[in-house]
């Protein structure tokens, strides 16, 4: 494959991949190519993936020019900042900027680690009973993390106001993982309502349908 | 002059934001919210930070930012003249965002877990096992970062940045048996460089009195 350094290269899972960075590329109208990674084989990452991320995890993005960014939140902020139009990250002097940065990091540093512990309990606990308990405690923490976020927002209709941002995409993606959807609708009705217009955006909907098995 | 208020506790993830405020030379006052006390759950503090964690930064305009990494990013944007965060559009920005997020979202969770084993499993045997896997995870994550940097003497080159502060802070919070100094000599050297900065050293002495 010839390397084109004028476009983004996203290392993405085939089905059930991390949809938010991919949808963001579509939303900002970026040119990109996808390197498909078999998510069922991530215990044995390919040399191609290891070359860009020594942890062997996805997503990974090579920015135009070749700089590698891992971590969904980091790459979403970087992609949004590269495209002032449409503005998917509030400008640095915008009043929404503190909340944007704070909640992007909140999701990355609190919600996502709990999701990971729930899905990959076997990485930190060996016996079946310990794994069950790690999962149970991870779910408890995840529910609390979502409830804290629910209490902090009054979406209108998006999380930060009239305009959608990368925070809507990231929230929508993480809220489709691990958490029971009936529970989420019940306990986090404002967050659940805010993800509706984001997920139904014509550029987001096909990505969501492709990547979330439980997407209606 | 407008003033920041940093809600903090000693030896916590508020150390880097506090040191950054000092490096910027911005006027700030400290409001201590001691960890593991009911002070984290008072309505007054939960109004500042609904998760009840530190740090939180109250901005001069009355807005609040939570999460250590977000505070570092925001202070960098509000004080570009300090040169501590690559501004949006600059060549170092993607790398900065990547590794700052890596520290917060990937390295910090097992760093924190080590001190809160009982939040994850019950029983001495299961907790001992969790401690072991958590140390192994920390060692592996630091090794991946060590391989990605050639500090000169700081992580991004000859100028200190908020990434040095975040790295040094989380390294100081890491499990002693993860072997950071031996396994990550380049990161350890960058950590020592930022910790020797005249604005950082007093903050670090207060926050991490056991550090060499």
What would the pLDDT profile of B86-130 be if each residue is shown by its tens digit?
A: 999 899 999 999 999 999 999 999 999 999 999 999 999 999 999
Distance CA B134, CA B111 (A): 8
- Residue A2, pLDDT > 70, answer no
Lowest mean pLDDT among A6-15, A89-98, A130-139, B141-150: A6-15
Which residues of chain B lie closer than 8 angstroms to A10, CB-CB? none
Tokens representing residue B47 in the block: 């109004």
The DSSP H or E segment spanning B27 is none
Q: Answer whether B95 sits within 8 Å of A69, measured CB to CB.
A: yes
CB B171 within 8 A of CB B180: yes
Q: Which two tokens stand for residue B180?
A: 């950071």
Please check the confidence at residue A153 and state whether its pLDDT lies above 50. yes
Mean pLDDT of A4-8: 81
Using a CB-CB cut-off of 8 Å, the residues of chain A touching B95 are 67, 69
Q: What does the pLDDT look like over A159-182, one tens digit per residue? A: 999 999 999 999 999 999 999 999
- Rounded to the nearest integer, the mean pLDDT of chain B is 94
Which position has the higher pLDDT, A191 or B48?
A191
For residues A10-27, give the mean pLDDT.
89
Q: pLDDT-based confidence at A38, cuts 50/70/90?
A: confident
Mean pLDDT of B144-160: 96
- ipTM above 0.90 for this complex: yes
Look at residue A1 in the predicted model and tell me its pLDDT.
Answer: 46
3-state DSSP assignment of residue B83? coil
- Give percent above pLDDT 70 in chain B: 99
Q: How confident is the model at residue A213 (pLDDT cuts 50, 70, 90)?
A: confident
Global confidence as pTM: 0.96
Between positions 140 and 179 of A, the ones with CB within 8 A of B are 141, 145, 148, 151-152
Residue B63, chain A, CB below 8 Å: the answer is yes
pLDDT of B135 > 50? The answer is yes
Question: Residue range A38-50: average pLDDT?
Answer: 83
The pair of three-digit structure tokens given for residue B138, joined into one six-digit string: 């920390």
pLDDT in tens, B153-203: 999 999 999 999 999 999 999 999 999 999 999 999 999 999 999 999 999
DSSP string, chain A: ----TTSEEEEEESSS--HHHHHHHHHHT--EEEEEE-GGGTTS--HHHHHH-TT--S-EEEPTTS-EEESHHHHHHHHHHH-TTTT-S--TTSTTHHHHHHHHHHIIIIIHHHHHHHHTGGGT--SHHHHHHHHHHHHHHHHHHHHHHHHH---SSBTTBSS--HHHHHHHHHTTSSS-HHHHHHHTHHHHHHHHHHHTSTTTHHHHHHH-TT--
**Mean of pLDDT values over B8-25:** 97
Q: Quote the CA–CA distance of A78 and B176 in Å, as a whole number.
A: 34
- Contact with chain B for residue A129, Cβ under 8 A: yes
Burial of A112 (0-12, 13-18, 19+ CB in 10 A): buried
- pLDDT > 90? residue B30: yes
Over the stretch B178-191, which tens digit does the pLDDT of each residue have?
Answer: 999 999 999 999 99
Neighbours of A156 (CB within 10 A): 10
Distances (CA, A) of B54 to B32, B34, B162: 9, 9, 18
CB within 8 Å: A73 and B101: yes
Q: Judge whether B170 is closer than 8 Å to chain A, CB to CB.
A: no
pLDDT interval class at B1 (50, 70, 90): low
Residue range B61-84: mean pLDDT, rounded: 96
| A58: its two tokens | 């996805």
Q: What residue in A sits closest to B107 (Cα-Cα)?
A: A109
CB contact under 8 A, A124 and B133: yes
The stretch A24-53 carries a mean pLDDT of: 89
Q: From A80, which residue of chain B is nearest by alpha-carbon distance?
A: B88
Residue B50 is predicted with a pLDDT of 87
Residue A3 has pLDDT above 70, yes or no: no
């Amino acid at each position: 494959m010839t390397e084109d350094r004028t476009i983004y290269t996203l290392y993405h899972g085939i089905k059930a991949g991390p949809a938010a960075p991919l949808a963001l590329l579509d939303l900002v109208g970026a040119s990109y190519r996808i390197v498909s990674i078999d998510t069922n084989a991530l215990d044995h990452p390919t040399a191609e993936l290891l070359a860009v991320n020594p942890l062997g995890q996805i997503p990974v993005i090579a920015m135009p020019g070749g700089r590698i960014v891992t971590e969904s939140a980091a790459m979403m902020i970087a992609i949004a900042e590269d495209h002032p139009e449409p503005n998917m990250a509030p400008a640095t002097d915008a009043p929404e900027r503190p909340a944007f940065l704070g909640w992007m990091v909140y999701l990355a540093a609190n919600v996502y680690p709990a999701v990971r512990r729930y899905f990959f309990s076997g990485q930190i606990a060996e016996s079946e009973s310990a794994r069950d308990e790690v999962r149970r405690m991870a779910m408890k923490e995840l529910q609390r993390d979502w409830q804290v976020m629910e209490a902090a927002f009054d979406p209108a209709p998006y999380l930060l106001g009239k305009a959608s941002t990368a925070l809507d995409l990231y929230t929508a993606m993480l809220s489709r993982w691990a958490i029971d959807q009936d529970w989420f609708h019940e306990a986090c009705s404002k967050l659940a309502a805010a993800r509706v217009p984001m997920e139904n955006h014509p550029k987001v909907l096909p990505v969501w349908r492709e990547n979330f098995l439980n997407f209606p | 002059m407008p003033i920041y208020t940093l809600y903090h506790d000693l030896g916590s993830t508020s150390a880097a934001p506090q040191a950054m405020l000092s490096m910027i030379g911005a006027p700030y006052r400290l409001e201590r919210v001691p960890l593991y006390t009911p002070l984290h759950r008072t309505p007054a503090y939960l109004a500042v930070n609904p998760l009840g964690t530190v740090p939180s930064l109250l901005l001069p305009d009355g807005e609040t930012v939570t999460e250590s990494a977000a505070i570092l990013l925001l202070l960098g944007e509000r004080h570009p003249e300090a040169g501590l965060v690559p501004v949006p559009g600059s060549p170092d920005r993607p790398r900065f965002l990547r590794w700052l997020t890596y520290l917060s979202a990937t390295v910090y969770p097992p760093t924190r877990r080590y001190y809160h084993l009982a939040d994850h499993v019950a029983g001495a045997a299961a907790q001992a096992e969790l401690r072991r896997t958590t140390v192994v995870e920390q060692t592996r994550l630091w090794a991946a970062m060590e391989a990605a940097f050639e500090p000169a003497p700081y992580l991004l080159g000859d100028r200190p940045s908020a990434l040095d502060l975040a790295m040094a802070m989380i390294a100081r919070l890491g499990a002693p048996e993860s072997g950071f100094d031996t396994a990550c000599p380049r990161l350890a050297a960058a950590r020592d460089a930022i910790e020797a900065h005249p604005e950082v050293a007093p903050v670090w002495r207060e926050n991490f009195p056991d550090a060499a």
